Amino acid sequence: MAKTYFITGTDTAVGKTYVTQNLLNAAKQQGFSALGLKPIAAGCEQTKAGWQNDDALALQSASTCKLSYVEINPFAFKDPISPHLAAKNSGEVVSATMLQEKINPLLKKDVNLLLIEGAGGWRVPINDTELFSDWVNLLQIPVIVVVGMRLGCLNHALLTFEAIRQDGLSIAGWVANSIDPEMKQLSENINYLQSKLPEPLLATFSYQLDNNPNNLVDLRSAIELLI
């Protein structure tokens, strides 16, 4: 049975895909099998194979378990906006039950590590009445939080952790991802979060202009904790 985690962020554009890719690659480098999924992607381009998203393609490429694109990303929408609006614009509906039907068979895949990347932050709506977090509650899997290190991240991080705990889910750890090259007192901000969050800091990523998942980050201890 795969060790399965849901990857969320403190906001959109905080580097969830970049972190997920790095974790998948680190697991592979240590001899483990790994699979990354992106159930909902808003912001896709039309291809010969249908609508596809760069983030989902990146996770597909980083996985050792080779699945079709539609398995990796069953709900792909054109507009780079909130999933519930992107689905409406495409004339489609997404629900927690539908997500469960699409992803549940993949939870049985014979891999060591399975990472499921969300869209945006923890409370992103998938329709007019349900949030992405409602589906994760159905899954009942641990959460990894990517904290985008920039001004305002302390508030975003503490509120995100509070919401996840209120939902009754466990948090496996968090990643500090530097997304603002000019952020002042970065280390002090990370130290503050470490003092307030009982969950382990899995890794710290320095600012990378190209978000290249091949940039070297020592994730051996993170993989040991997760697998």
Q: Which residues are catalytic?
A: 38
**Owner of token pair 């980083």:** 62
Could you give the CA distance from residue 81 to residue 14 in angstroms, rounded to a whole number? 15
CB 201 within 8 A of CB 38: no
Give the strand pairing for 201-205 and 40-42.
unpaired
Q: Which residues pair with 8 in a beta bridge?
A: 145
Q: DSSP character for 66?
A: -
CA distances from 136 to 75, 99, 192 (A): 16, 10, 28
Identity of the amino acid at 167: D
Nearest CA among 222, 161, 153 for reference residue 189: 153
